[in-house]
Chain A
Amino acid sequence: MNNQEEKNSIVDKILNKIKNEKVKMKPKIYFILRTVLLVGGSLVLIFLIISLVSFIVFSLRTSGALFLPKFGSPGIKIFFMSLPWLLILIAIILTVLLEIFSKKFTFVYRQPIFYSLLIIIIITFIGSFLINKTSLHPNLFWKAQERHLPGIEMVYRDFGVPRIKDVYYGIISGITDNGFNIETPRGEVFNIIINSETRLALEVNIEEGDAVVILGKQSNSNIQAFDIHKVKKDFNLFRPQQIHDHRPLLK
């Protein structure tokens, strides 16, 4: 077969397939729908990532883990051990999926992955920061506690307010002879015992209504405090009644 014949044979084969409708042109609507799905899928992924990261931050706030670095190297160690690694892994997987999805867009693949990842991270942090400024997660957590949240109830109950061994976070609900009482975001009440083993900066003036993080050993509802740090009060984590009346809502 000479070159011209060979050329014709390829062209004829292709044209015959088209003529005999062995191959059919996909309609424009197919590509429009595909683009809509791609954009929609990317938006859903962004939404999931922001929700998940804001939820991780919420769980770190409610458990008091976010304040642990204040306790120095022991606190930092507990902080890393208490991170919700499963949720972090899911967030990373979703981010990689979003990166793969967004690679279909010209404005994304023309730039180094570093930039698109940076943009995803910035959007996620801004989004989760804004969500954590609202009462969304605390409200959902309370609804989950009251079993009014089908579907994601388990997530909030299991991960929402994790317990970290020897770490207690709450609002001081009363001063006692040997310490004070706190109410945690779960609504539990603990009696904090301060003695010679407790590290508490002398200049720290603890008053009713203050938010504190305590490192200590629990025995029933008593906690022998080793270290106490006063922290910024996080109003969103507690119900208004807890802050004003110090009445636990859930037992």
Chain B
Amino acid sequence: MKQKNIQQSDEEIVALIQAGDIDFFETLIHRYEKKMKRYARKFTSDDEEIKDIIQGIFIKSYVNIQSFDPKRKFSSWLYRIAHNELVNALKKKKRNILPLFELDTFLPHSLQDNSLSQNIDRQDIRKMIDKCLDQLKLKYREPIILYYLEDLSYKEIAEIMRIPISTVGIRIKRAKEIMKSIFKKLRYTL
């Protein structure tokens, strides 16, 4: 397999793969391998496990690529597969499992605007995430990683986690509050 047509968008490449030109799949792997690895590393530090997860993500995406609608965003679709792989990997190790039902997905919330976070800028939040990510529950950890580290929108995060858009805002807000209290407790400084 050879990498071809770097100029094309992800969605155009997927359309070509769906049409039968599977050689283009390599291009997608090269585009997303680093991102997927970085994402997985936020949930596990085991290198072997990360390798297995990355393989699982790309193999699942290849197997199911005909289900992708090229009118939608490929990155969200791939992150959804990554989310499932990570949840399954964590389930196997019985660590930080996402419950089937969360109360915050039940009731409607007003959309939280995290774009102008009070007193803390994006860079500071990234530093906070680095220091206290392990202490956040998976349901808070994932949206905050996707929003602040992977630069995805609420809508994309909602697609990936299959939760309401307003819940994404609530979880990011809650995650920041938890991180702030951890910082205060441990007397960390930014």
Contacts and interface: CB of A to CB of B under 8 A. Distances in A.
Interface of A: 6-7, 10-11, 13-15, 17-19, 23-28, 30-31, 103, 106, 109-115
Nearest to A14: B58
Interface in B122-174: 158-159, 162-167
A114 B22 contact: no
A15 B165 contact: no
B163 A18 contact: no
Chain A residues touching B, majority SS: helix
A106 B33 contact: no
Contact of A103 (B1, B25, B54, B162): B162
Given A26-B64, A26-B66, A106 B164 contact: no
Interface stretch (B4-12, B81-89, B104-112, B175-183): B104-112
8 tightest A-B CB contacts, nearest first: A31-B67, A28-B66, A109-B162, A112-B108, A113-B106, A112-B164, A14-B58, A15-B1
A109 B159 CA distance: 8
B187 interface: no
A17 B59 contact: yes
B29 A23 contact: no
A15 B29 contact: yes
Given A109-B164, A112-B108, 14 more contacts: A6-B51, A7-B33, A15-B1, A18-B25, A23-B62, A25-B62, A26-B64, A26-B66, A27-B66, A28-B66, A28-B67, A31-B67, A106-B159, A112-B166
B44 interface: no
10 contacts: A7-B33, A15-B1, A15-B29, A25-B22, A26-B66, A30-B66, A110-B159, A111-B108, A112-B164, A113-B106
A109 B164 CA distance: 6
Given A23-B62, A25-B22, A28-B66, A112 B105 contact: yes
Contacts of B22: 18, 25
Contact of A10 (B33, B63, B66, B105): B33
A19 B1 contact: yes
Interface size class of B (residues with CB under 8 A): 20 to 34
B55 interface: yes
Interface string B82-124: 0000000000000000000000011111000000000000000
A14 B159 CA distance: 26
Contacts of A25: 22, 62-63, 65-66
Given A14-B29, A15-B1, A109-B164, A115 B64 contact: no
B49 interface: no
A11 to B, nearest CB: 5
B62 A111 contact: no
A106 B164 CA distance: 10
B30 interface: yes
A64 B108 CA distance: 38
B167 A112 contact: yes
Contacts of A14: 29, 55, 58-59, 62
Interface in B18-39: 18, 22, 25-26, 29-30, 33
Contact of B30 (A11, A17, A24, A26): A11
A112 B106 CA distance: 5
Contact of A11 (B33, B106, B164): B33
A13 B57 CA distance: 13
B29 A11 contact: yes
Given A25-B65, A27-B66, A106-B159, A111 B164 contact: yes
A110 B62 contact: no
B63 A23 contact: yes
Contacts of A31: 64, 66-67
A106 to B, nearest CB: 7
Nearest to B20: A25
Nearest to A15: B1
Residue of A11, A14, A24, A30 with most chain B CB atoms under a 10 A cut-off: A14
Contacts of B106: 112-114
